[in-house]
Chains A and B, each alone.
Chain A
Amino acid sequence: DIQMTQSPSSLSASVGDRVTITCRASQGIRNDLGWYQQKPGKAPKRLIYAASSLQSGVPSRFSGSGSGTEFTLTISSLQPEDFATYYCLQHNSLFTFGPGTKVDIK
């Protein structure tokens, strides 16, 4: 099975900060990766698909990059509504979620 790791597991940031989250796969997954945002008590919401394609309706401050085994999610200027937990999901071979990155207020 493909394993996913994420770093950092948590981070504290201020509004306006640039934030980068990294996801690594245990083997190459091409660009079969999505990024999801989850707020407490809510279902996850997809932000990015195919590693770098922005989901319709998602603000352009979110971007994704990477291919193979290393991927990043970047928030160019953190907004108050972006404080949440972020998960990557590989779907190259079955499905595997990363362990999550919690972004909270500094």
Chain B
Amino acid sequence: QVTLKESGPVLVKPTETLTLTCTVSGFSLSNARMGVSWIRQPPGKALEWLAHIFSNDEKSYSTSLKSRLTISKDTSKSQVVLTMTNMDPVDTATYYCARIIYYDSSGYLSRGIDYWGQGTLVTVSS
């Protein structure tokens, strides 16, 4: 059974750095066909992809937030960590982690998001 669970602070102050942890079970972060992504959703708004990481340590970041984000993993602990610097009230959102899985698609390997964590609401306020 695949599960992902986000953990981290509920409240952060403006200019502080946010650190979120995603703990996974039911699959390994060393699996070459899987990765983990972070996604956020401000209250009442749409989903926004932030970053992802794969078993070979391949990392990618949202173009608009790249300068503020760092993603890393600890395979032995089954954890993926996202840090976001210089937090602002507009960063108030529910933050989700989700599994990325490779699949065969019409003769080539594609990758999409299948399982999601429950999400964690982070409020940025002084």
Contacts and interface: CB of A to CB of B under 8 A. Distances in A.
B47 A43 contact: no
B46 A50 contact: no
The secondary structure that dominates the A interface is: loop
Contacts of B119: 43
Q: How large is the interface on B (under 10, 10 to 19, 20 to 34, 35 or more residues)?
A: 20 to 34
Contact of B47 (A31, A49, A87): A87
Nearest to B110: A32
B27 interface: no
A81 interface: no
Q: In this complex, which of B113, B114, B119 has the most chain A Cβ atoms within 10 angstroms of its Cβ?
A: B113
Interface in A21-39: 30-32, 34, 36, 38
Interface of A: 1, 30-32, 34, 36, 38, 43-46, 49-50, 55, 87, 89, 91-92, 94-100
26 contacts: A1-B63, A30-B105, A30-B110, A31-B105, A32-B105, A36-B47, A43-B96, A43-B116, A43-B117, A44-B116, A50-B103, A50-B106, A50-B110, A87-B46, A89-B113, A91-B100, A91-B111, A92-B110, A94-B60, A94-B63, A95-B113, A96-B49, A97-B48, A98-B46, A99-B46, A100-B46
